[in-house]
Amino acid sequence: MKSLRKIHMNALMKSSGENYTEKFSEDVRNSVICSLCKFRTTEQEVIEAHLEMPDHKETYAFIGMNIQFGKRAADSLDVPRVNNNKKIADRKQWQQQEQQLQQEMLEVALQKQDLKRESEYSENETCRKEMQGLMEAGHNLEKALQRLCHDVQV
């Protein structure tokens, strides 16, 4: 039997008409979370500033003192945050590298298109010059034939 969460996700997908993953933006997916304070942000600098704030340190100390397992409980809550933040940092770095690679590929493709256009233009320019030369030669030949015909008639 399907779990309630899967049923809810399927209903959400059917009702919204879009993919479940499309419903959430990359910002939400790449957000960094403090599991102790339930603080969420997309910027690494902001989360680092949050970790240095007295409120975060007080919450960490409070959990460490008031839960019967002591500091281990606070540490066990902190470990998933650290691991998740590492994964998010790796994902952001990978996305930046991918964007740079795509931009470089686009620049190379544009350079190839420019070279192709230049070569087509030079070929067309050469053909135009040759055609003009042939047309001028044909026009000169036609004039010469007319003169000859005209001279014969006179």
What are the two backbone dihedrals, phi and then psi, of residue 34, each rounded to the nearest 5 degrees? -95, 110
pLDDT at 17 over 60: no
Higher-scoring residue by pLDDT: 9, 50: 50
For residue 73, give the nearest of 84, 82, 62 by alpha carbon.
Answer: 62
pLDDT band at 109 (very low <50, low <70, confident <90, very high): confident
User: Residues 71-97: what's their mean pLDDT?
Assistant: 78
- Go through 44-76 and write b for each residue having 16 or more CB atoms within 10 A of its CB, e for each that does not: eeebeebbeeeebeebbeebbeeeeeeeeebee
Q: What are the boundaries of each domain within the chain?
A: 1-28, 31-153
For residue 60, give the nearest of 44, 45, 71, 49 by alpha carbon.
Answer: 71
What percent of the chain stands above pLDDT 70?
50
pLDDT on residue 1: 42
3-class secondary structure, 33: strand
pLDDT band at 4 (very low <50, low <70, confident <90, very high): very low
Q: Do 65 and 24 touch, CB atoms closer than 8 A?
A: no
- Residue 1 is classified by DSSP as -
pLDDT digits 0-9 by tens, 26-78: 656 667 777 677 777 777 788 778 778 888 778 777 776 666 666 666 677 67
pLDDT at 12 over 50: no
What are the two backbone dihedrals, phi and then psi, of residue 40, each rounded to the nearest 5 degrees? -130, 135
pLDDT on residue 69: 60
Query: Can you give the C-alpha Rg of the chain in angstroms?
Result: 37
